[in-house]
Chains A and B, each alone.
Chain A
Amino acid sequence: MASLDVDDGVGGNLADVVREIFSIRESNIAVSIALAVILISGSSNLYNWTQEEYEVALDAATDDWWLIEFNASVSEIVHEETWQDEEKKVVSFFMDEFIFPEGYLVGKIEVIVKPDADSNGTLFDPVAQCDSIGANILNEGGLTAQWDYEGNVLSGQDSSCEWIRLNLQAYPGFDGDDLNSSAPNEFQALLPWKQTGWGEGTLEVEVELDVNTVDALGPVSSDDDEDITIEVKVYGFIASASMGGQ
């Protein structure tokens, strides 16, 4: 074993130090093996990285543009009932009665209130007038939907025998149109369109009737009721993504 020729307060130079540290042959062999292990371990990790993980991770960390397309399906329930003059009724529709294919989510709800087709006069009662109908979608049935969405039409009124159309957005952001999205992969691009829990509960539709009659005219002028049809269409969707949108 080499030793430094030093006195108190005098140190060896770097060459002496290195010579001293590497003075044992077996130790040097062990150090060489350690360095070889580093090279092997580092190289294998690096090779593994460059061959597999790096490209994948880089791809995963970089956003691409995806075209999100919605495949829609409509489920419909029709309710017919007679309203008396100045009667106000609430009709409930249970959302689990609307049937969709597996994997579909509820996107939006459309309610059409249709007055009796004969209410604007017939052969038997030519002077009959259109009744006044008011319809509202009520936020009382615990229905999970976008109640604050500005595009909703939750109330409507008509006295000219036209249909009243109401709609409510159930799924956040869903309007049925395809859109572009920036995301690192298909899974993340579709992630916003896979939330469950929207469109569950009971849809409450309130309809009020005010009958318009013409006194002493016509053979059946004592009109004091109206057949009203409520048609509820629920739009379900399933989203798919393809790269290259924008």
Chain B
Amino acid sequence: MAGENALLPIAAMIHLILGVMTIILVYRSERARPSERLAALILGWIFFVLGVIFLFRTIIDYQFTNEIITTGDFSDSFLRYGVGSAWIVYMSLVAVLPLIYPYPIFFSESFARFGAVFVAVVTILLAPLWIVTNYEYSGLQRAFYLVPFLAWVGIYLRYLFSEIQGGRAEDRAVSAVSALLLIGVFAEWLTYWLGIVLTQENHFTARFLVGNAELKDPTIAMLLSSTMAQAMIATSMLVLFFGEAWRTKRRGFSGVSIVIFTFFTIGILWFIFDYTQMGIVDSCVNTACEELNPIYSTWYVFSSEIIRFLVVPLILMYVILNFNLIETGGENVWFTRIMVLLMLLIVTSSIIELIQTVLPIPQMITSALFAAAVVVFIGWEEKITNSMIRQSSSVSDVLIEAGETGFLRIDDGEYRIFSIAVGISLGLAMLISLLISLMEITV
């Protein structure tokens, strides 16, 4: 059986590497559209912060698995505070991105500065607040999901209609990017849509609530935020599904529609599999928490964890490369190729390793498979990279040419300010977490 969290260390590595490389590429993409360059910078930081979160989770998982730490020790440790504070930075970045991309709703030359201030203020306010309240109200930060939900669902529908009813084929780029970004942010939660709609997901919330009771008491704030976030996520999935079904009927299949149909189908499977395990899921509430079935856990690893840790970074990288958020030509071409190859090799080796834990395939065969994948990637590296950026189209160009928005100028210094502010926010979040964990809370 593939162990739960088996992909965490790989996910941490992938996100950190992609984050650093994306941020570097943004600074080397002086000819990219400014709003898209800023979006790439935000995505780069999202990658990096996710990498930090996954790194924390890897250490936490390792310590619990090897019984180095107890729940009591963990409750006031730097590990718990650190990962909680990093989530705040991540959520604030997620709230900033939809305001500038794909549609520059906040059309301002100083948007980068505004975004930086927003991230910094939110981090400095919420990091200590959540720690001293023992994260009992931290669910409220899910309200930030409202921004991507409202912005991207609205923009997705707007440009889907203008493509199909208005006959503007180029508008597909805008709706496709919105759909992909929704998947990038809501990730595996989209596959729980049917369980959410039919209220089955509540049983899991109750299980986690009881399972975490040793760390924090359940609160109404947590209940409200969790319910509304789940409703937003399920609605996003339904909007995307019906939108793509309609588009497929009119225009035929596309890569994006296949991804969305896959998520929709996985959602139905999840509902069925969850239903079969309800006795175990409810055990925490009714009797004592029982371990989940090993096959069920393996299905979780092969669906939810692969989506969260491997598919999401691939989708976001696709958005960055295919929609010209950064310059992929000229001097950057080698950098881009290295990034794509590295990504593909890590994902391939992870999936092969995962398969090996489930099926009794001799290591000789999996090594040969991996070697074959390496040869294919090296032999076709140009082709693979080109296919990622083959149909490059800039959403900004589409919007500007249609006269729906103007050309947003952002000074080079603004990108630097944004990066410094986010870096300092992350550093401060870690410092606050470390110091409070050392001081101990006595209130």
Contacts and interface: CB of A to CB of B under 8 A. Distances in A.
Interface of A: 1, 3-4, 6-14, 17, 20-24, 26-27, 30-31, 34-35, 37-39, 41-42, 44-46, 48-49, 52-54, 56-58, 60-62, 184-185, 187-188, 191
Interface string B227-247: 110111011001100010000
B197 A41 contact: yes
A6 B405 contact: yes
Given A38-B232, A188-B288, A17 B105 contact: yes
Contacts of A48: 199, 202
Interface string B286-301: 1110000000000000
B258 to A, nearest CB: 22
B403 A30 contact: no
B165 A24 contact: yes
Nearest to B193: A41
Contacts of B104: 11, 17
A26 B154 CA distance: 12
A22 B157 CA distance: 10
Interface string B83-105: 00000000000000000000111
A57 B161 contact: no
Interface stretch (B43-51, B70-78, B203-211, B358-366): B203-211
Contact of A3 (B160, B287, B404): B404
B409 to A, nearest CB: 5
Contacts of B285: 53, 56-57, 60
A13 B405 CA distance: 10
Contact of B407 (A9, A12, A24, A39): A9
Contact of A58 (B218, B284, B286): B218
Given A10-B406, A17-B105, A57-B209, A31 B235 contact: no
B178 to A, nearest CB: 11
B68 interface: no
Given A17-B105, A57-B206, 5 more contacts: A20-B404, A38-B231, A41-B197, A41-B235, A53-B203
A34 B239 contact: yes
B286 A60 contact: yes
Contacts of B196: 41, 45
B435 interface: no
A46 B158 CA distance: 30
Nearest to A191: B288
A155 to B, nearest CB: 37
Across the A-B interface, give the 8 residue pairs with the lowest CB-CB distance, nearest first. A11-B107, A6-B406, A42-B231, A61-B213, A57-B206, A187-B287, A3-B403, A27-B161
